[in-house]
Structure 1
Amino acid sequence: MKYFSDSERGALPRAKNEIPYNVWCGLTAYIQTLIDIGYFGENFPDLCPDGQGCCGTDEKGFSLALKAEILGIEYPFITEKEDSDDWMSKKVPFNPDYLDVLDLVQFCYVNVSKPTMGQFHSFFGHHHITSFDRSIGQAEFLDKIDTIFSRNGLAYQLHSNGQITRVLNPSLTSVTGQVSKTLDQELNDLIARANKKICNADVQVRYEALKELWDGFERIKTVFNPSQSKKQSMTQLLDACASDREFRAQLESEATALTTIGNSFFIRHSEVTQIKLNDSDHIEYFFHRLASFLCLLAKKLS
């Protein structure tokens, strides 16, 4: 669904990494509604006591299956917890880890199916479900999740195969797709793995993308002329990229700066003195910066 405000002022940039409390509450309310009207009855059937088939979702079965696969979330869903530091047992908002919330979304997508209601069983006060349509149920679920994510500017997207990827900003998407294939397959593989991992929802996997891209940077320093030392080979590659003296000096400066970043931050080395990156935006910034540089260098190796 597209809201009027989206047409008037444009949709929010999908750049937020953490899932806020209002989204957690909204997701649980939506999923609970689906449970109540039988959308999970195909995989977790609540059976009519009179033996007339499925009549809804077996919440206990749903809960046990969820507990086995998503360790950080319990059902019935919790949106508030008692504050252990408050002597009056005041309740405070509870928001699970964003990865657990995304796992819950995937769990529900895999198990959701749209029910077709049949005869009303007046004695037990329920309808019997005559059939389920998984494709329609999943399409409805996907559309609702995309609305919630986009309206709140969340940098995640649920796909029809059940996977969730991170929505990259347009400039990063552009540069990652333009790094040319080279004659060195190992270098190509490093860059390809980095490009795939930077789209992952988990910030730790995106960190791995940064490390793989920096491995590619070290690799590219030797590829232009393998018979020479790394420094000599890189010098020749930079010479091939620019004949203009001023621009060549800028390339030299950038190569030195990127090498320093790789050595100083927790990217290429693991000493306790290394600076670890904790902010996804900072990871993306370094990734974008190096990817742009590799995009120029790789053109001379393709």
Structure 2
Amino acid sequence: MPDNAFYSDRIGQSLPRTREEISALAWRGIAVLIQQRLDDGSLARAFPEYNCPDDPGRNTITGTDRKNFLHALEAHVPRLTEPRSAPDDEWGIPLPSGIPLDPDRAPHTTTALDVIDFVAPHIDQPRYSSRHNWNFAHSHYTFNTSERDPFIDGPLTPGQARFQDDIEQIFRRTGIAFTLGSDMRVHRLGPPEARALISDFRPNTSDPELDALLNDAVSRFLSRVPADRQDALEKLWDAFERLKTLELGGQKSNSIAQLLGNAAPEPLRVELAKEFKALTDIGNQFRIRHHEHDRHAFPNDDAKDYVFIRCINLIAHMLRQTGRMHET
């Protein structure tokens, strides 16, 4: 479904994608979407059911084995069916969790995203070979002989592309700041002001260690695990310090001066030098690379995001201006 499928999108009144919790509304849409994929055979290749009376050899797929699917889902996402901790019944015993994929019982955000991560790689596009209208009418499903490995770069299958689009539409319409990537895994979008910058960030500095630090920092920044944001900031600060010696490979002050001279004329060069100094001061005052008692802790994750975006924006500008960024 295109981004402008709804009137509110076309007139610029769609919800901003800033929410990092799966709401009850979003979960209902996700649960119903997965139920649809169970019904239409999209999960039948991974969890086949063989119920054709005329095929005792069990070579003909007739649908999705829901029991096996739910067993596998519960084993991989055990928190989905944990008993409710509240409210308790009058005897003080926790109420049962109910059925898996209950649209009316939204799990924790991490659990909901784990469900998508489990389901997405197993999606395939079935085609109907025939309709068996006798002996308990049912459909026979066949699939393409080749199946795309979600962990290897390559085009998505039609079924995966459709599932990705449907999940993306639910996220978009409910303001969720996550996305289902081409690897069929859920990723964090990050703050709106950073998305364009991050999507085009492809360092090519001729320094493999610097490139690795920068790419690792971005990957951790987009992780849906909040604790990874601290790791992202530390990796980025290591990269920032290494960037300062990029031109001369050693003498920091002379290297920064040369880097600034290659990146910008006066008076912008002076302003960029001030930004280098300001970010260096932040790194010295807060718990990024140093964790002594006199270093300040960040008050929340939003503050970490702000500092990360400020630093990577400067790094990206310097790399682009000196021809050290892959063209996108």
Tell me which interval the TM-score lies in, with the shorter structure as reference length.
Answer: 0.7 to 0.9
| TM-score between both structures, scaled by the size of structure 2 | 0.71
Counterparts of 1:185-196 in structure 2 under 5 Å? 185-196=208-219
Q: Do the aligned partners of residues 132 and 242 (structure 1) sit closer, same or farther apart at CA in structure 2, a change above 3 Å counting?
A: closer
1:285 is aligned, of 279, 298, 306, to 306
Q: 1:119 aligns with which of 93, 115, 132?
A: 132
Query: Structure 1's 185 and 101: CA in aligned 2 closer, same or farther, altered over 3 A?
Result: same
One-letter amino acid of the counterpart of residue 231, structure 2: E
Residue of structure 2 in register with 1:67 after alignment: 74
The one-letter amino acid paired with 1:109 is A
Q: Which ranges in structure 1 are unaligned for 5 or more consecutive residues?
A: none
Give the aligned partner of residue 245 of structure 2.
222
Structure 1 residue 214 displacement after superposition: 0.9
Flag the structure with higher helix content: 1
Q: Is the Cα–Cα contact under 8 Å of residues 222 and 234 in structure 1 kept in the other structure?
A: yes
Q: Quick one: distance in 2 between partners of 1:88 and 1:212? A: 51
Going from structure 1 to structure 2, the CA distance change for 1:179 and 1:148 (only over 3 Å counts) comes to closer
More strand by share: 1
Instruction: Give CA-to-partner distance per residue, 1:274-299, whole Å, 9 cap, x none.
Output: 525653x4443222210222234444
Kindly tell me: are residues 172 and 37 of structure 1, through their superposed partners in 2, closer, same or farther at Cα, counting changes over 3 Å?
closer
Q: Hey, what's the Cα distance between the residues in 2 that align with 1:284 and 1:21?
A: 26
Choose from 22, 29, 32 the match for 2:32: 29
For 2:141, which of 130, 152, 155 is the aligned residue? 130
Distance change >3 Å, CA 236–CA 203, structure 1 → 2: same
Q: Which residue number corresponds to residue 96 of structure 1?
A: 107
**CA RMSD between the two structures:** 3.7
Q: 1:34 to 1:242 in 2, by over 3 A?
A: closer
Unaligned runs of 5+ in 2: 98-103, 148-156
- 1:188-210 per-residue CA deviation (whole Å, 9 max, x = no partner) reads 33223323443444444444332
Structure 1 match to 2:234? 211
Q: Determine if contact 1:81/1:94 at 8 Å carries over to the other structure.
A: no
Distance 1:244 1:86, change over 3 A: farther
**Percentage identity across paired residues of the two chains:** 31
Amino acid of the structure 2 residue aligned with 1:60: K
2:65 is matched with 58
